[in-house]
Structure 1
Amino acid sequence: TFAQFGSGTFTPGVRTHLSRFMLVDPLALAAEAGHLAGLGVTDALDRLTVDRDALLTTPFHRAAGRAREIARGTGRHGSCGMGIGETARYALSHDDAPRAGDCLSPTRLRHRLTALRDRLTGELGPLDVPDVGSCAEAFLAFARRVRVVDGTYLHDLLHDGDVVFEGAQGVLLDEWHGFHPYTTWSTTTFANAQALLDEAGLPPATRLGVLRTYMTRHGPGPFVTEDPALTADLPDRHNGFGRWQGAFRVGHLDTVALRYALEVAGGADALAVTHLDTAASRTDLRICRSYDIGGEILDRLPTGPPGDLDRQRRLTQRLLTARPLYGEAPADWITTIEEELRVPVALGSYGPTTADKQLITGTDVEPRPRASHESRLLP
């Protein structure tokens, strides 16, 4: 399961570029590179470039984020525990937030790491973190091993061949459109990819929305179609209970939530549907086509422009009281999903390997040149 390297890394020659929108954790990236090397991919770091303006996630961010989550007690938001939200939060308040380019200047890097540590410990008290010197040395070693580049590199890269932009998390966790406060601190729609393409003077990407035949959520927050029986019966190889994220939850396919995700993401040209093998082997999976919220029947959730977290908080409260209204499981999942979401299904996954992926014939989606972007529609 990839985290910071592109999921094409198993294919020789495929490069990964971490744009300025990426939050880069050099220590976690080194561990991921080591794991890839153990699988035979020994040149992953050689094929990696990092924008100098990308924010750095550090052990200080990680410790501070965990401390804030602990302080919330029973009101936890859910967190991956890796310091991602804390990295974004700190950068909004401080112009000297550590960035990848700082790793090219030992003096500046140590100064910024020291300021980061002092501010966070001054706010939160003592944190279980390494000393600044050892953290700085690890980050400097990172910069010696990978190419740290400026924005012109991506401009050239986008004109050099086919590109896949990979979504970070599900659209329903988006910082502005997700169900606040159970969200991430980053934009998970197509917006960042489109911004990079616009800057390069390129046309829009082909937009690919990715969803399962059932719903999942890791951690707290609204989950209208959650079914404890499915949670117990459909374990996920790469997800489970985590100290910071909490429980991995499973429920039935929710077309109300999916329509909302598509709308706030600006639509999709095609869908990729995974776990079709799971749907084919079970008779207990259902589809939710509408909600009952206090006697009001809804098949679509209200949307609005980004920035209004009070609106999103009110939506969250309504969803916590919503009751799913189900239809029967479809005989043909692909056709039903296409009809419900009004987007063609172009790819189907019937298992975990590349051999289990199939192009769906009969779709009239023509890929746009140069670039595509996938966005996970589920949290």
Structure 2
Amino acid sequence: MSASLVVGAQWGDEGKAKVIDYLSEKIDIIVRYQGGANAGHTVCVDNRKFVFHLIPSGILYPNAVCVLGNGVVIDPDAFISELESLEREGIAASDRILISDGSHIVLPYHRLVDEAREKAAGGNKIGTTKRGIGFCYADKVSRTGLRIGDLYSGLEERLKYIVELKNQELVNLHGLAPVSYDSLLAELKEFAARIKPMVVNTVIYLNDALKSGKTVLLEGAQGTALDIDFGTYPFVTSSNTTTGGAIAGSGISFQHLNEVYGIAKAYLTRVGEGPFPTELHGDEGEKLRQEGREYGATTGRPRRCGWFDTELIRHSARVNGLTGIVLTKIDILSIYDKIPVAVAYKRDGQTLPGFPTLGLERVEPVYEYLPGWNTDISGARSWDDLPPNCQAYIRKLEELTGVPIRFVSVGPNREQTIKLA
């Protein structure tokens, strides 16, 4: 009865998809447990690049079953588009995907309201992807959402009530045109017919599978510092990205969870608004962005870049119960003679005891400077292939974070992964 979890330990974009793909080779079931099509998970295999938004990254292994858990919000258009894209690439996916009947559905008015609210916010915008994810979760909490299971029971009555309610908001609050009930009903019926063989009670399925000895890998989107409770609120996503969210968004018992891998870049990036203590600006920020090719897989937006922040990782370890770290993109740091690492925070002249709930925008990072290695490490395939200064950098991060580094990624491809003893 073995379940493992891959969670972003920073602000997302840490390279989770590559790690999930790497770990999935011997996994029976991969479960996406939260988020929606705002996520962009990139996997490179045999010089082919795949970007996943909803379907779990482990779908590339032909024997893996991929599950969209009850914590995921599903955009029908995005899901079908992704499914068809895989099939065009010769990857049979339809018979290996299961969808929770408790998952909520992202509908057109969610996207319309998201874009209108973000536009109206001006200088107070959050920096959403405008894909309606947050407003779908808001409807879930306010109990005005539509679930996958509703597609097969009482859809007309439920949808009519919701559309009437939402059209009042679109017209009266935002001055937008109403959505058509008839058109939306027809689209949802077509979607329901397409996915019907995939829809199950995934809570029962997953717990029965674990009891029968199947292995399960839980895949999260975004990162710990974007968690609705433990992130840099209000500049966060709309779901729980952390270990608690994995349990709530999949329905598996915590007793099955054996490993929690925190995925962390060897430096740091963030997309959208919000505080970022170690952020680099101007030419230095652009240098790291270009070297790391730091642009969003979903939006194409340039990512903000900065140095590794150990307080953030200690916070991730605390709220997730990390059993190990997978350190990604360390090859990008090969261009530096010395590498700053933030080891503590100060605010108003006082050292803080840890990652603060409030006021992160006012902290000043305290840096240690580690020697660089100035050599290409993308061809390294073992610990001994790494230069001594690179090895020292990794060991220093272990010491500072208090979490063992279990794997190191030196490039985007599967084979560019080093397992540490």
Fold match, TM over 0.5?
Answer: yes
CA distance in 2, matches of 1:133, 1:121: 17
CA distance change for structure 1 residues 66 and 52 in 2, over 3 Å: closer, same or farther?
A: same
Q: Is the 8 A contact 2:226 2:237 kept in 1?
A: yes
1:108 to partner: Cα distance: 4.1
* Map 1:147-158 → 2, pairs under 5 A: 147-150=198-201, 151-158=203-210
* Map 1:1-379 → 2, pairs under 5 A: 1=42, 2-41=52-91, 43-93=92-142, 95-105=143-153, 106-108=155-157, 110-115=159-164, 117-122=166-171, 124-127=173-176, 131-146=180-195, 147-150=198-201, 151-160=203-212, 161-195=214-248, 200=253, 202-228=255-281, 229-233=283-287, 234-235=289-290, 237=293, 239-240=295-296, 247-265=302-320, 267-298=321-352, 300-302=354-356, 312=357, 315=358, 318-330=359-371, 331=389, 332-361=392-421
Which stretch of structure 1 is more off in the superposition, 256-265 or 12-21? Answer: 256-265
CA distance in 1, matches of 2:164, 2:191: 21
1:112 to partner: Cα distance: 4.9
1:320 to partner: Cα distance: 1.1
Aligned to 2:31: none
CA distance in 1, matches of 2:162, 2:284: 45
Unpaired runs of at least 5, structure 2: 1-41, 43-51, 372-388
Q: Please list the CA deviations of residues 203-261 of structure 1 after superposition, one character each: whole Å capped at 9, or x if unmatched.
A: 32311100000011001101000002343122455725998x96520000011122122
CA distance change for structure 1 residues 281 and 129 in 2, over 3 Å: closer, same or farther?
A: farther
Question: TM-score normalized by structure 1?
Answer: 0.83
CA distance in 2, matches of 1:157, 1:67: 43
Q: Please list the CA deviations of residues 3-49 of structure 1 after superposition, one character each: whole Å capped at 9, or x if unmatched.
A: 211111111121111111111111111121222233322x2232111
Question: TM-score normalized by structure 2?
Answer: 0.75
1:142 to partner: Cα distance: 2.5
CA distance change for structure 1 residues 5 and 334 in 2, over 3 Å: closer, same or farther?
A: same
Q: Is the 8 A contact 1:175 1:186 kept in 2?
A: yes
Q: Please list the CA deviations of residues 110-140 of structure 1 after superposition, one character each: whole Å capped at 9, or x if unmatched.
A: 3255245324325533436753333333332
CA distance in 1, matches of 2:114, 2:297: 18
Helix, strand or coil at the partner of 2:362: coil
CA distance in 2, matches of 1:159, 1:145: 30
Residue 216 of structure 1 aligns with an amino acid whose one-letter code is T
1:293 to partner: Cα distance: 1.3
CA distance change for structure 1 residues 176 and 340 in 2, over 3 Å: closer, same or farther?
A: same
1:200 to partner: Cα distance: 4.6
CA distance in 2, matches of 1:301, 1:8: 33
CA distance in 2, matches of 1:162, 1:117: 42
Q: Is the 8 A contact 2:146 2:159 kept in 1?
A: no
Q: Is the 8 A contact 2:144 2:162 kept in 1?
A: no
CA distance change for structure 1 residues 281 and 116 in 2, over 3 Å: closer, same or farther?
A: farther
CA distance change for structure 1 residues 37 and 230 in 2, over 3 Å: closer, same or farther?
A: farther
Q: Is the 8 A contact 2:343 2:366 kept in 1?
A: yes
Q: Please list the CA deviations of residues 314-356 of structure 1 after superposition, one character each: whole Å capped at 9, or x if unmatched.
A: x1xx221222221112522221111111111111111001011
CA distance in 1, matches of 2:150, 2:250: 26
Aligned to 1:376: none
CA distance change for structure 1 residues 120 and 99 in 2, over 3 Å: closer, same or farther?
A: farther
Unpaired runs of at least 5, structure 1: 303-311, 362-379
The sequence identity of aligned pairs, in percent, is 29
CA distance in 2, matches of 1:196, 1:216: 26
CA distance in 2, matches of 1:343, 1:356: 22
CA distance change for structure 1 residues 35 and 242 in 2, over 3 Å: closer, same or farther?
A: closer
Higher relative contact order (CA 8 A, sep 6+): 2
CA distance in 2, matches of 1:329, 1:128: 57
CA distance change for structure 1 residues 193 and 131 in 2, over 3 Å: closer, same or farther?
A: same
Which stretch of structure 1 is more off in the superposition, 229-238 or 64-73? Answer: 229-238
Helix, strand or coil at the partner of 2:234: coil
CA distance change for structure 1 residues 83 and 176 in 2, over 3 Å: closer, same or farther?
A: same
CA distance change for structure 1 residues 200 and 183 in 2, over 3 Å: closer, same or farther?
A: closer
Helix, strand or coil at the partner of 1:81: coil
CA distance change for structure 1 residues 238 and 15 in 2, over 3 Å: closer, same or farther?
A: farther
Q: Is the 8 A contact 2:171 2:177 kept in 1?
A: no
CA distance change for structure 1 residues 176 and 131 in 2, over 3 Å: closer, same or farther?
A: same
CA distance in 2, matches of 1:242, 1:269: 29
Give the number of aligned pairs: 344
Helix, strand or coil at the partner of 1:328: strand
Q: Is the 8 A contact 1:197 1:203 kept in 2?
A: no
Residue 225 of structure 1 aligns with an amino acid whose one-letter code is T
